[in-house]
Amino acid sequence: MCGIAGGIGKNLKSYLNSHLYLLNKRGPDSSGIIEKENGLILGATRLAMTDPHPRSDQPMQDLVSQNIITFNGEIYNFLKIKEKLRSAGKKFNTESDTEVALLALTWFGINAVKDFEGMFAFGFYSKNENCLYLARDYLGKKPLYYAHGNDFFIYSSQINLIKGFLRKLTLDKKSLSTYLSFGYLMAPETMYEEIKSVQPGEIIKINLNLKSDFFRFRFTPNALTHPKHMSIRDSLSSATFERVNGHKNVAISLSGGIDSTIVAMETKSLGVNCKAFTLKWEDSDKSRYNEDFKSATLIAKSLNMDLIVIDGPKTYELNDKLTNYLMAMGEPNSNPTGISMLSLYSAISKDNIRLALTGDGADEVFAGYERYNKIKKLQNFPTLLNKELYSKLLATNLKNKINSKYLLPFLSASDLSFWSYFQQLANNEYLRHFFPDYCFKVGDPIEDEFYQRLTKTNSKVAQTILNDLRIWLTMESNNKLDKISMNFSVEARSPFQSENVIGLGIEMMKKVNYKILNKGILTQEYPELLGLNVNKQKLGFISPLGHWLRNNTSLIQESCIYLKRHFDFDKKELERLSRTAILGDYKNFRFMWNLIVLAEWHRLDNQGVL
């Protein structure tokens, strides 16, 4: 894995030379910069995972074509692509997947990215075209940001490297609205108007004369739409093998649920030296927060696997942990599981393990979330509303008491307003009152080959799965997982996010018309789960948020005071929210945490430490 950066413009070379160290956590093993005669600068830091020798350091240049790549990620099927290149007469100097990516893009063209199975973000310089390509994997497992002006273009794995190069930054009210609504951001927007994110499954072509517009186009991995014909179990076995092959020590993020247990079983069967890591909350006031720990203990014992139990953050540590979390993220994200993950990956790193496997992605394919059961019950309601009419009716909510949940069944599930209902931390009417400049507007689904495949059914569950995969998993879950794990120079890989596994999983869900929920297809494939004390309730390293807030009333008060000073939020509502912990108003705890995270992010950003 790596941190990548580059671009073109006055003073960019000296800037990257003095600031490339910002990417050192992503790549602690080596770093390098290449300058081309046209003024293009390419830089990278490396976390050596495949072919850990200097010959595979980056940036990597093909001596024949003079093309260059900065590559962050892992292509799991690179040996297959390598054989295809060898058949075309191409020779190799390394054993790395980076060289395979470089030569595939050079000789097969940018569409070769459709054959890449894995996680990646890259900058690829084509000398013949005098252009730079940026691309990001379909599920957004690796981040990539950029900014441009009339006389410069810059890209990087981390937003802070770009921030330092720009002279002026403006808070993006659209992104602030998105954050208030969902607790995370949605590509291509960031918290700054001047900085954008490459979208998952997007390729951007930049002509290096900087005088023409960017060309943007989307791609769909071939393995996603045309998976290999095999069982889900065989596909997961193959995906796990691909992700651990060549590594002697592996950590398993074991939450005690179905997903992580399957990953542990598959890894153990490969004979790999692996340790399971789980979290325990010593000072929580609710026993349910330790159900994952109890299940993980029993599962590890059954699998004869070493288990490392990590103490979750204590209440008195919350302020410092929140600061560290936001330093790792670089942007606001209020999912409280992020604080838990910080402790988890810190412990994995201290155990000198560089590779961790997780169960992320199973819920979004095999319908593991509780909301899918609710959505299934809405299947037979006729579609009577469109987005515009639905919005107008909701706007009258305060006058005639129409509740959005009574309107929801009559809205098409293909409309992202339907999906938003199950995701928003606060509804639009409340947020317009809370923030006068609230301007978030849910866009339209991204139509591609995979989208067409999912939408050939009228299942509301299928439509929700699509949006969970393309929005929640990419924009929130994968973004958070990568930034926290890489903050400790640990690479997190998720077998359930194999393109082949997802493609097969969707085929299986279609065959049963999306009526088998709660990961029932997985339990059919792995009947032995019944004897492993698996926790079927979806928890996954949740954090004791209510306990934290009830015992940190000063943090709530200070955050509300800060927000009154720096944001145009409704002051009376902030005053009411500041009493949530004192009044035991648990219904507002999640939104209050959303505001606390925003206040701390803004404070750190203003101090220039993000």
Share of the chain above pLDDT 70, in %: 95
Query: Are residues 391 and 507 both part of a single domain?
Result: no
Query: Are residues 350 and 206 both part of a single domain?
Result: no
Question: What is the mean pLDDT of the segment spanning 482-507?
Answer: 96
Query: Are residues 279 and 330 both part of a single domain?
Result: yes
Instruction: Give residue 167's pLDDT.
Output: 80
DSSP state of 472: I
Average pLDDT, the chain: 90
Instruction: Give residue 585's pLDDT.
Output: 74
**Does the pLDDT at position 400 exceed 50?**
no
Most confident of 46-50, 317-321, 409-413, 455-459: 317-321
Please report, for the domain that includes residue 94, its CATH number. Answer: 3.60.20.10
Query: Are residues 139 and 274 both part of a single domain?
Result: no
Domain boundary among 452, 481, 511: 452
What's the pLDDT band for 33 if we cut at 50, 70, 90?
very high
| Domain presence at residue 539 | no
Query: Are residues 327 and 384 both part of a single domain?
Result: no
| Domain presence at residue 464 | no
Domain boundary among 480, 507, 531: 531
Please report, for the domain that includes residue 349, its CATH number. Answer: 3.40.50.620
Per-residue pLDDT reduced to its tens digit, 406-463: 888 888 888 888 999 999 999 888 999 999 999 877 666 566 777 776 666 778 999 8
Q: Which of 280-294, 309-323, 357-371, 498-512 has the lowest mean pLDDT?
A: 280-294
Query: Are residues 39 and 89 both part of a single domain?
Result: yes
Query: Are residues 443 and 494 both part of a single domain?
Result: no
| Domain presence at residue 460 | no
Query: Are residues 234 and 215 both part of a single domain?
Result: no
Question: What is the mean pLDDT of the segment spanning 585-610?
Answer: 92
Q: What 3 state SS string does 109-158 have?
A: CHHHHHHCCEEEEEEEEECCCCEEEEEECCCCCCCCEEEEECCEEEEECC
Query: Are residues 12 and 118 both part of a single domain?
Result: yes
> What range defines the domain where residue 600 resides?
545-606
Q: Does residue 139 sit in helix, strand or coil? A: coil
| Domain presence at residue 101 | yes
| Domain presence at residue 537 | no
Instruction: Give residue 285's pLDDT.
Output: 72
Question: What is the mean pLDDT of the segment spanning 582-608?
Answer: 91
Domain boundary among 220, 240, 261: 220
Q: How many CB atoms lie within 10 A of CB 38?
A: 11
Query: Are residues 7 and 27 both part of a single domain?
Result: yes
Of 134, 93, 145, 141, residue with least CA distance to 117 = 141
| Domain presence at residue 109 | yes
Query: Are residues 447 and 517 both part of a single domain?
Result: no
**Does the pLDDT at position 399 exceed 60?**
no
Per-residue pLDDT reduced to its tens digit, 174-184: 999 999 999 99
Q: What 3 state SS string does 349-399 have?
A: HHCCCCEEECCCCHHHHHCCCHHHHHHHCCCCCCCCECHHHHHHHHHCHHH
Query: Are residues 510 and 591 both part of a single domain?
Result: no
| Domain presence at residue 297 | yes
| Domain presence at residue 322 | yes
The answer to whether residues 286 and 546 touch, using CB atoms and an 8 Å cutoff, is yes
DSSP state of 529: G
Count of structural domains, the chain:
4
Instruction: Give residue 15's pLDDT.
Output: 95
pTM across the whole model? 0.94
Per-residue pLDDT reduced to its tens digit, 196-249: 999 999 999 999 987 777 899 999 999 999 999 999 999 999 999 999 998 889
Per-residue pLDDT reduced to its tens digit, 54-89: 787 789 999 999 999 999 999 999 999 999 999 999
What's the pLDDT band for 53 if we cut at 50, 70, 90?
confident
What's the pLDDT band for 52 if we cut at 50, 70, 90?
confident
